[in-house]
């Protein structure tokens, strides 16, 4: 059953079993309006601090790429997970989640098989009692613009950029290639770049039209870390994002639009300013940042001229949200045995050997140092509230599908000396660990039993911080 709140007051019918199924009822007299003023985000005229988690509850044994049951994890099949998680989140004091992708239709069949997420949204809003607001997103492809390496500069006015991406840092000419075809969604087959941009746009607008009045929607995230060296200097890229943001705002004027960028030291936002491109429909910049460590004086997003917030304030007057931050909760037993926690830059050579070859284990004391990292970085966000409107921790739960075998955690080849455990384990960033409750992870998708949630120290630290603010 679809239940939405209009801007005007209306009476919502309550079913006799609404006490058992709260997502089948809705609140009355709810006017939900998000807007921005200066660098700040507001809800119904009151300053709003985003206390959020990135949320992608893919079960053990499943993959985000499984077209039938995944593609997104927010339709009715997954409501048992949502009910469990939202209870934990409310207890923690979270008021926001960011999701990376919901589809207006079945990812393999397209518009002929529409998909509904009303129960998920209603569970999040909870009749306005401890609501969890959602930064929603359609997963815009990283290939909406495509490029190829060329021997010579184009003579037909095609966009190009010269980058030091060749052997030994030599320059290469990258030319925008509109005719390059790649496989799109099943019902679309191969698409060139402009066709993919249009199909992504149509899907996003369909999503916005369907849920435009739902009070759980805080706003829309347009793309994630698409600011590649080629894209960030391409005016057409910014024109596409800004135009889509404008269309979303026309459909949902009381919602926020955000573009999330990888933290490149503000190179991207400097280019936006330098190019003079129109980004007026983008309300908020999100920056995914993994700066800082747990060493004394460095448990933050940088100090002095190197502070992320000082760098940001110099190039943009829009509101800022730290759209991802946090460390992995896993490490290697050998790193613990060698007393390399917390790691320091001098240990890089050893980390390069141990991260892909050691024995994976949890950080000691229920990942206490990962909690310390998050605590210091959240406090840095609060110190800079005149610039930043909050943060979204990466991430809610471990996701086994991200690196190799989706049925178990696998060793990462990547290192990060700023993380307490030294290894960049894509599957281990959760403030919630997960444990299989089915008899075998390979039974997916049937029978469906939610994975057990195992709160780590990060969860407890955030509950202390957020419940008191």
State the CATH number of the domain containing residue 85. 3.20.20.80
| Residue 217 reports pLDDT greater than 60 | yes
Question: What is the sign, positive or negative, of the torsion defined by CA atoms of 292, 294, 295, 297?
Answer: positive
pLDDT of residue 64: 67
Q: Is 307 helix (H, G, I), strand (E, B) or coil?
A: coil
* pLDDT band per the 50, 70, 90 thresholds, residue 134: very high
Kind plus residue range of the DSSP H or E element containing 201: helix 193-211
| Residue 288 reports pLDDT greater than 80 | yes
For the segment 79-88, the average pLDDT, to the nearest whole number, is 96
pLDDT of residue 104: 92
Cβ–Cβ under 8 Å, residues 410 and 60: no
Q: Which domain holds residue 391?
A: 45-140+194-329+364-404+433-467
For the segment 239-259, the average pLDDT, to the nearest whole number, is 97
Closest C-alpha among 368, 366, 307, 303 to residue 342: 368
User: Is residue 29 assigned to a domain?
Assistant: no
* pLDDT tens by residue, 372-416: 999 999 999 999 999 999 999 999 999 988 877 777 788 888 999
Say if residue 395 is preceded by a cis peptide, omega within 30 of 0.
yes
* pLDDT tens by residue, 33-50: 999 999 999 999 999 999
Residue 438's CB: how many other CB atoms inside 10 A? Answer: 17
Distance between CA 156 and CA 236 in Å, rounded? 16
* pLDDT band per the 50, 70, 90 thresholds, residue 28: very low
User: Is residue 85 assigned to a domain?
Assistant: yes
Distance between CA 59 and CA 444 in Å, rounded? 9
User: Is residue 183 assigned to a domain?
Assistant: no
| Residue 18 reports pLDDT greater than 60 | no
| Residue 24 reports pLDDT greater than 90 | no
User: Is residue 180 assigned to a domain?
Assistant: no
Summary count for the chain: helices (H), strands (E): 10, 22
pLDDT of residue 10: 33
Cβ–Cβ under 8 Å, residues 429 and 325: no
Say if residue 295 is preceded by a cis peptide, omega within 30 of 0.
no
Q: Which residue has the tokens 């002095």?
A: 304
pLDDT of residue 9: 36
* pLDDT tens by residue, 362-382: 999 999 999 999 999 999 999
User: Is residue 350 assigned to a domain?
Assistant: no
* pLDDT band per the 50, 70, 90 thresholds, residue 30: low
User: Is residue 222 assigned to a domain?
Assistant: yes
User: Is residue 9 assigned to a domain?
Assistant: no
* pLDDT tens by residue, 226-235: 999 999 999 9
CA 461 to chain centre: 21
Percent helix, strand, coil in the chain, to 5, is 30, 20, 50
| Residue 258 reports pLDDT greater than 90 | yes
| Residue 69 reports pLDDT greater than 70 | no
* pLDDT band per the 50, 70, 90 thresholds, residue 65: low
Q: In whole numbers, what is the pLDDT of the chain averaged over residues? A: 89
| Residue 246 reports pLDDT greater than 60 | yes
User: Is residue 336 assigned to a domain?
Assistant: no
Looking at the structure of the chain, the number of domains it has is 1
Query: E strands, 100-171, where?
Result: 105-106, 110-114, 133-136, 147-150, 160-163
């Amino acid at each position: 059953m679809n239940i939405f709140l209009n801007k005007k007051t209306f009476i919502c019918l309550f079913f006799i079993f609404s006490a058992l199924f709260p997502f089948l009822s809705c609140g009355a007299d709810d006017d939900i309006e998000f807007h921005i003023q200066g660098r700040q985000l507001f809800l119904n005229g009151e300053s709003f601090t985003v206390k959020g988690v990135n949320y992608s509850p893919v079960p053990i044994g499943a993959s985000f790429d499984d077209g039938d049951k995944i593609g997104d994890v927010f339709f009715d099949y997954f409501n048992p997970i949502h009910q469990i998680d939202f209870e934990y989140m409310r207890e923690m004091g979270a008021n926001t989640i960011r999701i990376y992708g919901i589809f207006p239709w079945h990812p393999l069949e397209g518009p002929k098989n529409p998909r509904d997420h009303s129960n998920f949204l209603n569970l999040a809003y909870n009749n306005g009692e401890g609501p969890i607001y959602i930064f929603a997103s359609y997963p815009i492809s990283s290939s909406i613009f495509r490029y190829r390496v060329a021997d010579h500069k184009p003579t037909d006015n095609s966009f190009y950029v010269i980058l030091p991406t060749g052997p030994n840092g030599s320059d290469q000419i990258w030319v925008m290639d509109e005719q390059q075809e790649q496989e799109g969604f099943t019902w679309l087959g191969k698409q060139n770049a402009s066709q993919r941009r249009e199909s992504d746009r149509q899907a996003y607008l369909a999503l916005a039209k369907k849920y435009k009045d739902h009070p759980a929607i805080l706003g829309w995230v347009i793309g994630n870390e698409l600011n590649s060296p080629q894209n960030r200097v391409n005016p057409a890229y910014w024109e596409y994002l800004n135009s889509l943001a404008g269309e979303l705002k026309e459909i949902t004027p009381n919602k926020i639009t955000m573009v999330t960028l990888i933290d490149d030291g503000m190179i991207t936002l400097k280019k936006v300013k330098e190019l003079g491109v129109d980004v007026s429909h983008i309300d908020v910049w999100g920056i995914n940042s993994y700066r800082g460590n747990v060493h004394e004086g460095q448990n933050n997003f940088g100090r002095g001229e190197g502070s992320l917030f000082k760098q940001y304030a110099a190039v943009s007057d829009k509101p800022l949200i730290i759209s991802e931050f946090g460390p992995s909760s896993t490490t290697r037993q050998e790193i613990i045995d060698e007393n390399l926690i917390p790691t320091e830059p001098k240990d890089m050579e050893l980390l390069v050997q141990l991260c892909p070859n050691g024995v994976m284990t949890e950080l000691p004391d229920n990942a206490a140092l990962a909690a310390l990292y998050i605590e210091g970085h959240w406090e840095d966000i609060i110190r800079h509230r005149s610039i930043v409107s909050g943060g979204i921790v990466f991430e809610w739960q471990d996701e086994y599908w991200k690196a190799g075998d989706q049925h178990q955690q696998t060793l990462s080849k990547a290192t990060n000396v700023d993380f307490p455990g030294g290894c960049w384990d894509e599957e281990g960033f959760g403030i919630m660990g997960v444990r299989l409750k089915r008899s075998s992870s390979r039974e997916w998708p049937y029978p469906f039993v939610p994975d057990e949630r195992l709160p780590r120290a990060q969860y407890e630290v955030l509950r202390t911080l957020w419940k008191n603010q």
